[in-house]
Structure 1
Amino acid sequence: MLVEIWSDIACPWCYVGRARFAAALAAFEHRDEVTVMWRSFELDPDAPAEREGSHAELIARKYGRTLEEVAAMDAALTATAAADGLTIRFAEMRSGNTFDGHRLIHLAAAHGKQDAMKERLFRAYFGEGALISDHATLQTLAVEVGLPADEVRELLLTERYGEEVRDDERTAQSAGISAVPCFVIDRKYGASGAQPPETLLEFLQHGWAQREPAPAPTA
């Protein structure tokens, strides 16, 4: 069974959603027969390499909230993430373009390390104040998870996997995916949002139950 997950590195609910999906998958009886593919989605494809201003200032300006309202929302989300074993430090976050990070995740998929790369980028962005548009930072993080340093350098110097990122985004658009995280089973069943692990487990069980039976063996 194939589970594709559209998400953005700079999306806190995608970070929470990854942790919750991992918990659901670990409890799923047929987990060894599930292939998980991370798909690219940019919440702001026109974002600069780095935005000026703090996270709170950027969110307040974008959504017309006061700094006090943003602080309250951030505190609630930080507590939610902590309950799932995640650390989010909004005050240290450096907002910027995620396109090259998505290209790196595609390279990691070719080496069987896609989930590890995705998790490392999430952790760096939300917990370590890393600027994930910075090529030196991406190089370091990729080597940490075991990607070949020379391939990472080549990717960052070229447009490699750029079309694959855009193809993921076009697929999301054609499927009507406008909010992330979005989980899709076998291109048939979808679930949006950072649902609780129990809900995501039910989603996996439903997808498995709806699979077409294997053809009967012929004599």
Structure 2
Amino acid sequence: MKIEIWSDVACPWCYIGKRRFEAALAAFPHRDAVEVAWRSYQLDPTLPEHYDGTELDYLSTRKGMPPQQVSQMFDHVAREARGEGLDYRFDSVVVANSFTAHRLIHLAAAHGTQDAAKERLLSDHFEHGKDIGSREYLTSLAVGLGIRRAEVDELFTTDKYADDVRFDFEEGRSLGISGVPFFVIDRKFGLSGAQPVETFSAALDQAWQEANPLVLVNSADGAACGPDGCPA
């Protein structure tokens, strides 16, 4: 069973959704048969490489949201994050374009460390105030995952993996995805948003049952007990 997750590194609900999905997957009896793939999505592709201002400034000026409303939203999201063991620090978030970070995730996928890269990027962005657009930071992250520095340098000297990121964008649009996180199971089931663990669990169960229907063989030939008792 394959699960594709469209997500942006700059999306606070994406990290919360990741934690809730992981909890459901950990309890799923067939988790070893599940392949998870992270797909790229950008909430604001027009964002400059670096934005000279805070997250509050960015949302209130570029998105036209009143500062008080933004602060209330931060408080609400931070409470939800704490419920998943995450320590969001919106006052320390560095606003930056996430396109190169998405390319790094694709590079990490080629090395079998995609989930680790996604986890680090989300945590460092929302909990540790790291600059996800910084060459120095992205290089350090990738090298820490065992990726050769020369391969990371290609992200800044060539367009490597840029087409892969854009393909994810286009494929997401073709599936009707207009917000993240968005979870697609076997290209049959879609879940939008950071759903409760129970919702993810129910979706996993339903998708597994449809992909692996129970086939009864000679079911009428053997004795069996029913609601009215057992045959003599």
Please classify the TM superposition score into its range, dividing by the shorter chain length.
Answer: over 0.9
CA deviation profile, 1:108-143 (whole Å, cap 9, x unmatched):
111111000000000111111111111111001112
Deviation of 1:58 after TM superposition, in Å, equals: 1.6
Deviation of 1:148 after TM superposition, in Å, equals: 2.3
Give yes or no for the alignment of 1:12 onto 2:12. yes
Q: How many angstroms apart in 1 are the aligned matches of 2:146 and 2:27?
A: 27
Question: 1:117 maps to which residue?
Answer: 117
Larger Rg: 2
Q: How many angstroms apart in 1 are the aligned matches of 2:17 and 2:147?
A: 24
Give yes or no for the alignment of 1:56 onto 2:56. yes
TM-score normalised over the length of structure 1? 0.93
Question: 2:169 maps to which residue?
Answer: 169
Q: How does 1:194-209 map to 2 (within 5 A)?
A: 194-209=194-209
Deviation of 1:63 after TM superposition, in Å, equals: 4.1
Q: How many angstroms apart in 2 are the aligned matches of 1:148 and 1:208?
A: 38
Question: 2:107 maps to which residue?
Answer: 107
SS of 2:37's equivalent? strand
Deviation of 1:3 after TM superposition, in Å, equals: 0.1
Q: How does 1:127-146 map to 2 (within 5 A)?
A: 127-146=127-146
Q: How many angstroms apart in 1 are the aligned matches of 2:170 and 2:209?
A: 29
Specify every segment of 5 or more residues in structure 2 that has no aligned partner in the other structure, as ranges. 216-232
Total equivalences in the alignment: 215
TM-score normalised over the length of structure 2? 0.88
Question: 1:152 maps to which residue?
Answer: 152
Question: 1:34 maps to which residue?
Answer: 34
Query: Which AA in structure 2 matches 1:14?
Result: C
Identical aligned residues as a percent:
47
Q: How many angstroms apart in 2 are the aligned matches of 1:84 and 1:201?
A: 16
CA deviation profile, 1:41-75 (whole Å, cap 9, x unmatched):
01111210111221112212244333222212111
Question: 2:45 maps to which residue?
Answer: 45
Judged with a 3 Å threshold, the aligned counterparts in structure 2 of structure 1 residues 214 and 133 are, in CA distance, closer, same or farther, namely farther
Q: How many angstroms apart in 1 are the aligned matches of 2:28 and 2:15?
A: 20
Q: How many angstroms apart in 2 are the aligned matches of 1:5 and 1:82?
A: 22
SS of 1:179's equivalent? coil
Structure 1 moving runs of 4+ over 6 Å: none
Deviation of 1:193 after TM superposition, in Å, equals: 0.2
Judged with a 3 Å threshold, the aligned counterparts in structure 2 of structure 1 residues 52 and 32 are, in CA distance, closer, same or farther, namely same
Q: How many angstroms apart in 2 are the aligned matches of 1:99 and 1:149?
A: 19
SS of 1:210's equivalent? helix
Deviation of 1:187 after TM superposition, in Å, equals: 1.0
